[in-house]
Amino acid sequence: MIFNSLDFALFLPLVFLLHWFVFARSARAQNFFLLLASYIFYGYWDWRFLFLIAFTTIATWLSGLAIGRSRGNGKKVYCGLNIFVNLSILAVFKYYNFFAREFAAAFLGGNEQNLLLDIVLPVGISFYTFSALSYTIDLYRQKISAAQPLLNVAAYLSFFPQLFAGPIGRAAELFPQYSQKRLFDNSLATDGLRQMLWGFFKKMLVADNCAKIVDLAWADYTTQSGSLLFIAAILYSIQIYCDFSAYSDMAIGCAKLFGIRISPNFKFPYFSRNVAEFWRRWHISLNAWFRDYLYIPLGGSREGRFKTIRNTLIIFTVCGFWHGANWTFIVWGLFHGLLFVPRLLLGGKRKKETDVVAADRAFPSIRECLQIAGTFTLVTIGWVFFRAPSIHDAFAFFEQMLFSGTLLSFPHGIGAGGKILYLFIVFLFAAEWLARRREHALARVPVKNIFLRWAFYFALICLILQYDGGAEQFIYFQF
């Protein structure tokens, strides 16, 4: 079951009504029902993996109890044990075959058949595993006052809006919301619906239509014109942003319907003036996770410039590998890490930019425009490696784009649908620019008349239904 499906359109209203009209009498009842709904939601994809998330939940809860009752080194032992168990499960399902292939290529002449496991990567395992680790580590660090009841831990790890692709839950942020009865907040729920609508626009009108051109270009890139590949590279940058941020918008908006607030996962990253700012705005929950649980424990930026660079490269390499068992992801992560090196070498203490570009102006300055364009270009280069099946394919893609002699030719194969897509992209960035000080583009529609506002929402829904690019699976489901 995915957000952009008819099944979810039937599932969500039913869960919403039951949650507020049948199970609203206590936090325990609300959490029990959300747990039940979440397991139905996850089991709809593959019921067998319910046992896996249940095992992760119980192991995490038991380790929390042990940490709460232990003293001294006992806390560290139980915390480390749960980290080992959860990362071991993730490693088997996500990385075993990758390392088996590399081992076979290095020592067995490529004879890998007897080493590989016939396993399917469970959707969302990277996200709920990191949420589980957050609970254990926050409890060990005493950011959570005491071990939580099993029901709260289970509801926290399986909450269906963020189960498949985040945002990654942080225990210290979410458990206070699971520990008390949630009251219906009409303004919060209304904002949640608006945020979900904007997510549907980004996913179904922009991301899924970009995917058609991007997939066409990558299907046989060696025969495509350089101009089409150039456009495909840009469109993939837009596709992956709209696809992933759309899921986050839908998840955060959906959570608001149930009185649960999740921190933003994106803050208009393509308006960033440098790569450091981009990473403060892109996949915020993952970046904060690596910062708090890996970068700072490694020493962060406190132990000299060399170790700061070392820690930065480690973080980005691990971040790349978190995305998938392929060298392309590692190269993508390392590429972004290397982009930080000149800044770390030359900048010393980095100059603090304001959180919002052109915060007190309608338009950015020429300098800011050049900075934004340069950052987008660097990020787009990285996305080519992220999208490519192999490192060889990534370099061959660049070679065909730049040196085939067709970079300035007219791009064929886009069709009429591509022209409409460009209008959607212009509207996307115009709307997000106007809303760059807010959480999402529809947080405040600048139309005071209620009938005109509803007409705008209705028109947006009609556009989604008319020009839907197809029920494409979310890109981050594979991670």
Q: What is the pLDDT of residues 379-405, one digit of tens each?
A: 999 999 999 999 999 999 999 999 988
Q: Decide: pTM greater than 0.85.
A: yes
The dihedral through the CA atoms of 329, 332, 336, 341 has a sign that is positive
Residue 159: predicted pLDDT = 95
Which H/E stretch holds residue 42?
helix 27-46
- Note whether 432 and 357 are within 8 A (CB): no
* Residue from 283, 323, 336, 440 carrying the catalytic annotation: 323
Residue 323 among the catalytic residues: yes
Q: What would the pLDDT profile of 273-297 be if each residue is shown by its tens digit?
A: 999 999 999 999 999 999 999 999 9
Q: How does pLDDT run across 26-61, given as a tens digit for each residue?
A: 999 999 999 999 999 999 988 899 999 999 999 999
d(CA 453, CA 434): 16
Confidence of residue 89 (pLDDT cuts 50, 70, 90): very high
Average pLDDT across the chain, whole number: 91
The domains of the chain are located at 6-183, 188-273+353-478
Q: 75 vs 129, 134, 140, 156, 280, CA distance in Å?
A: 20, 15, 7, 22, 32
> Which of 20-29, 184-193, 365-374, 469-478 bottoms out in mean pLDDT, i.e. has the lowest?
469-478
Q: What is the pLDDT of residue 115?
A: 85
Task: Identify whether the C-beta of residue 290 lies closer than 8 Å to the C-beta of residue 347.
Answer: no
The per-residue pLDDT for range 134-192, each reduced to its tens digit, is: 999 999 998 887 788 999 999 999 999 999 887 998 888 899 999 999 999 999 999 99
Q: Of 8-17, 315-324, 344-353, 360-369, give the lowest mean pLDDT range.
A: 344-353
Model confidence at 349: pLDDT above 60:
no
pLDDT of residue 350: 52
Q: Is residue 415 pLDDT above 80, yes or no?
A: no
Per residue in 297-344, pLDDT tens? Answer: 998 888 888 889 999 999 999 999 999 889 999 999 999 999 999 988
Q: What is the spatial distance between Cα 236 and Cα 221, in angstroms, rounded to a whole number?
A: 14
Q: For residue 259, what is the DSSP state?
A: T
Neighbour count for residue 206 (Cβ, 10 Å):
24
Residues 13 and 233: their CA atoms lie apart, in Å, by: 38
Residue 354 has pLDDT above 90, yes or no: no
Query: Which residues does 116 contact at the CB level (< 8 Å), separation at least 6?
Result: 97, 100, 101
Phi, psi dihedrals of residue 221, rounded to the nearest 5° = -65, -20
Amino acid identity at 181? K
pLDDT over threshold 90, residue 362: no
Q: In sequence order, which ranges of 114-225 are alpha helices (DSSP H)?
A: 125-140, 150-158, 160-163, 171-178, 186-200, 208-219
pLDDT at 158: 95
Give the chain's largest Cα–Cα span: 71
Whether the per-residue pLDDT at 353 is higher than 60: the answer is no
DSSP 183: P
pLDDT at 250 over 90: yes
Predicted local distance difference test score (pLDDT) of residue 413:
67
